Chains A and B, each alone.
Chain A
Amino acid sequence: QTVVTQEPSFSVSPGETVTLTCGLSSGSVSTNYYPSWYQQTPGQAPRTLIYNTNTRSSGVPDRFSGSILGNKAALTITGAQADDECDYYCVLYMGSGVYVFGTGTKVTVL
């Protein structure tokens, strides 16, 4: 059973930078997993932020960026704003048509 791990929560001050990570219970995340990132406000549908490791989806501000850091995928928010306060999920493509969502990170901006 593959588990994709994320930090449960992060707290950041407005204007600061925060990096969320997405790892595997066993093994390293690489671009071969096509990591993608999604933002979700409670009660709302997810919104796509990043795909193919580091490509921003249409309309996503450039303060959001994706990368591989060490053995994990990463989402960096540069200059956090109040409306960045929500949940963030990564997804890894495991092959054979199967996706696995990460456990999610709740970001608080205060």
Chain B
Amino acid sequence: EVQLLESGGGLVQPGGSLRLSCASSGFTFRSSAMSWVRQAPGKGLEWVSVVSGSGGSTYYADSVRGRFTVSRDNSKNTLYLQMNSLRAEDTAVYYCAKDALRQYYYMEVWGKGTTVTVSS
């Protein structure tokens, strides 16, 4: 069974940094692209970033490009999202998802999410 477990969320001041993690199991992690998707309170879902299975290709939404960095450690089956220069509008639940990039281009399986709050 595919399982994704996000961690690392919390309260951070504007301008601060946070690193999210997504521990994965139940599938061949290195063979799968992975995405981050977020949802601000009371709002819809927003795609944030995707990384290829090797980690060699990364893509970002305009709203986070230059501030967020996605990476992965295939030896640890773990996905990361380094978030810098955080703003109030980055407050959201952040989900990781197993992504079928370059196959059928969709999010196959989702984690339960971790909450990030950016506030002074």
Contacts and interface: CB of A to CB of B under 8 A. Distances in A.
Contact of B46 (A55, A87, A93, A101): A101
A46 B112 contact: no
Contacts of B88: none
Interface in B6-52: 35, 37, 44-47, 50
A26 interface: no
A45 B95 contact: yes
Interface size of B as a range:
20 to 34
Interface size of A as a range:
20 to 34
SS of A interface (majority): strand
Contacts of B108: 48, 51, 57
Contacts of A98: 47, 59, 61
Interface in A56-97: 57, 87, 89, 91, 93, 96-97
A52 B95 CA distance: 21
Contacts of B50: 97, 99
Contacts of A45: 95, 110-113
Contact of B106 (A1, A51, A96): A51
Interface of B: 35, 37, 44-47, 50, 57-59, 61-62, 95, 100-101, 104-113
8 contacts: A36-B106, A46-B107, A48-B107, A91-B106, A97-B50, A97-B101, A98-B47, A99-B50
